[in-house]
Amino acid sequence: MIEPILYLVTGAIAGLASGLLGVGGGLIIVPVLFFIFSAHNLLTEHIMHMALATSLATIIITSISSARAHHKKQAVLWPVFFLLAPGICIGAWLGGIAAGEMRTEFLKPAFGVFELFVAVHLLSNKQGQQHAVTLSRIKSSLGGFIIGIVSAIVGIGGGTLTVPFLHWHNIAMRNAVATSAACGLPIAVFGAASYIYTGWSINNLPEQTLGYVHLPAFAFIIITSFLFAPVGAKLAHRLPENTLRKGFAVFLMLIGLKMLFL
């Protein structure tokens, strides 16, 4: 019973963080799953792949919910989404394929470094300046490709990359956040699919897995993350954002350091 409870709590925390700060749940789900899988003595060489794949699979569900909510507010710039989508899909697929060839000993510190990067960004609380730069098809394809490949390798929905990219190209922050939420779906779908593909031929994975996706963890996490994301969004209007941002940044920093050195 302890394991399902841990998955439910993980989903709740990830959902709250996503609703409160707009930070993707993958930043929490990946390290927590890594620690849970490690505690259960699962195969060391596949632990990080399973954590990343399962995180991306959960983001499929949460990104649908988030994109729908932003769409109802008419905040999603769908023409921009369709400019980014082809590069994102290719990048996310190749990112998962590449990660499948990497060892956990590399993926674990790489995620830790990315976690520290996000923590520092949250502590600085700086928004990138807007530039009157046209978001052309070529720039969109290249930007989407980079966002997709990095997001798949670290198991996130890409908001920490997509939002500043769009804001840099003169898109208002409200629309950048909303469009980024929609972009999380192709990242998650193609990223998770690539991890399923690369893990399909691995014979010594635990039971109840689909490729590298751990199905029990996926099922329990999506229940609470789906329920708690709206709660976080409501609390965001009542709690001091600056304090929340700094507290969450410190939390991410501790996780990142643990991923790097333990």
| Range 228-248 average pLDDT | 73
- What local confidence, expressed as pLDDT, does residue 193 receive? 97
| DSSP reduced 3-state for 32 | helix
Listed in sequence order, the DSSP H helices in 22-77 are: 26-39, 44-72
Residues with Cβ < 8 Å from 214, sequence gap 6 or more?
A: 33, 37, 50, 53, 54, 206, 208
- 258: burial class by Cβ within 10 Å (0-12, 13-18, 19+)? middle
Instruction: State in Å, rounded, how far the first CA of the chain is from the last one.
Output: 27
| Range 109-136 average pLDDT | 79
pLDDT digits (tens, 9 = 90+) for 92-104: 999 999 999 898 8
Show the beta-strand stretches assigned E in the chain.
209-210, 213-214
Bigger pLDDT: 6 vs 262: 6
Count CA atoms closer than 13 A to 165's CA, side-chain side.
24
| Range 18-31 average pLDDT | 78
> Hey, which of 2-16, 163-177, 190-204 has the most confident mean pLDDT?
190-204
Q: How confident is the model at residue 39 (pLDDT cuts 50, 70, 90)?
A: confident
Q: How confident is the model at residue 7 (pLDDT cuts 50, 70, 90)?
A: very high
| Range 58-64 average pLDDT | 87
The domain total for the chain is 1
- What local confidence, expressed as pLDDT, does residue 126 receive? 65
Residues with Cβ < 8 Å from 84, sequence gap 6 or more?
A: 140, 141, 143, 144, 147, 162, 179, 183
- What local confidence, expressed as pLDDT, does residue 22 receive? 61
pLDDT digits (tens, 9 = 90+) for 162-172: 888 888 888 88
pLDDT > 70 in the chain, percent: 91
- What local confidence, expressed as pLDDT, does residue 241 receive? 65
225, pLDDT greater than 80: yes
Whole-prediction pTM: 0.90
Cα(84)–Cα(45) distance, rounded to whole angstroms? Answer: 33
198, pLDDT greater than 90: yes
pLDDT > 90 in the chain, percent: 40
- What local confidence, expressed as pLDDT, does residue 124 receive? 80
Element (H, E) at 195: helix 173-199
- What local confidence, expressed as pLDDT, does residue 62 receive? 83
Name residue 210's beta-bridge partners.
213
The first and second tokens of residue 243, run together, are 């304090």
Please give the residue range of the domain that contains residue 212. Answer: 2-261
The residue whose two tokens read 């596949």 is 46
